[in-house]
Amino acid sequence: MRRGLSSHPQALRTAPANFSKAAPVGYDAWPFQSAHPSKKHPAFLPMTLEEIRALVQADLHSVDGVIRARLKSAVPLVDQVAEHIISGGGKRLRPLLVVLTARACGHQGASHIEAAAFIEFIHTATLLHDDVVDGSLLRRGRHTANEVYGNQASVLVGDFVYSRAFQMMADLACQPVMEIMAEATNVIAEGEVLQLMNAHNPDTTEQRYLDVIYRKTAKLFEAGAEVAAVLAQAQPPVRRALAAYGRHLGTAYQLVDDVLDYRSNPQERGKNLGDDLAEGKPTLPLIHALKSGSETQRTAIRRAIEQGGLEQLEPVVAAIEATGALDYTTRLAQAELEQALSSLGSLPDSSYKDGLAALARFAAAHTT
């Protein structure tokens, strides 16, 4: 399971022939083939990611300014690594979720801008540390910070970004926000350790893997949505519903990412097929194929997980396709999408609520 790009610098592998480019969010966007992305929630309007961002364009511009200002340091190496991170791009989904949620709750202040920035800082710090742990060389088509500046600098600047995030939280002087984020960062750290324990372990269960997804990916989405609701002074039931929205959105996003590791267009995605397999990570498609495949298929998958590398990629992909493992993972992601959309029921109708629904659909249908 990767939240960034490949650690393998070889040429991008060829996408399957049935790959198609992403459609606007809310239409027939691969990998889901249903005529409507959410039959239970037909009222939400389809929107592209660019249209979602346009709803809060001024807020996102302010977030970018805060990110640049708050990453400044008197230590030159910190500045250099920080600039490397900022210029690396990325979707910035977590800040987008924070500002949309705050506006959907009727927030009129500016505290959500700081919150969106420190949520992105926590995400950035985890990526810096992840790349060191995984030995990654590339992220979003560029050399990772650890490849350019070394592991020591990456770890230490990651610590700086973490601590800067908590300085920003303290500046808000909001105890519930501090409690939410303290728990979130602790849970995320536990997720990193759990993933390390699961590596090269073909006996990893589906529940154990879903726990890793929650801790490593979904928890920060959950925290971002809840923090935004707190800052907007939403009532506790609304807070809980929006936290659930973030959790289900984050889970759907990671499940789709697992599918894309075996079925995507590498040139568009900027990531090689089979990267998780190369690192010996037993993601859900592999776990399901291990349960459902023939003895020959199970043997190939177990060997691939235990040894890592890509020598078994072809038979493993064949086993995943034959057992319907990608479709199974896709169905779970679709179920998470439905739960995310249901969690928005407590919000009043607004363009921001529509944006949150469209963002959940993007999470469950992204192709890059």
CA distance 88 to 77: 17
Structure confidence at residue 174 (pLDDT): 97
Confidence grade of residue 14 (pLDDT, cut at 50, 70, 90): very low
Judged against a pLDDT cut of 50, whether residue 68 lies above it is answered with yes
Structure confidence at residue 43 (pLDDT): 53
Structure confidence at residue 44 (pLDDT): 62
Enter the tokens of residue 361. Answer: 């659909």
Judged against a pLDDT cut of 70, whether residue 11 lies above it is answered with no
CA distance 187 to 77: 29
Backbone φ and ψ of 345, nearest 5°: -60, -25
CA distance 260 to 30: 10
- 3-class DSSP assignment, residue 213: helix
CA distance 275 to 279: 6
Domain borders along the chain are 49-363
96 closest CA partner among 113, 108, 79: 113
Mean local confidence (pLDDT), 49-76: 95
Better pLDDT: 133 or 187: 187
186 closest CA partner among 132, 146, 223: 223
Mean pLDDT of the chain: 85
Tally of CB atoms within 10 A around 160: 20
Mean local confidence (pLDDT), 219-227: 98
Enter the tokens of residue 278. Answer: 């190369």
Better pLDDT: 86 or 265: 86
**Which pTM does this prediction carry?**
0.85
Cross-strand partners of 138: 143
118-165 pLDDT, tens digit each: 999 999 999 888 877 877 776 766 788 888 788 888 899 899 999 999
Query: Of the given ranges (34-43, 101-110, 167-176, 213-222), which has the lowest mean pLDDT?
Result: 34-43
Residues composing the chain: 368
Mean local confidence (pLDDT), 262-279: 67
Q: Which helix (H) or strand (E) segment is 139 a member of?
A: strand 138-139
CA angle 82, 251, 282 (to 5 degrees): 90
Confidence grade of residue 262 (pLDDT, cut at 50, 70, 90): confident
CA distance 250 to 132: 23
CATH class of 49-363: mainly alpha
CA distance 284 to 126: 22
Mean local confidence (pLDDT), 81-101: 88
281-290 pLDDT, tens digit each: 999 999 999 9
316-358 pLDDT, tens digit each: 999 999 999 999 999 999 999 999 999 999 999 999 999 999 9
Structure confidence at residue 24 (pLDDT): 32
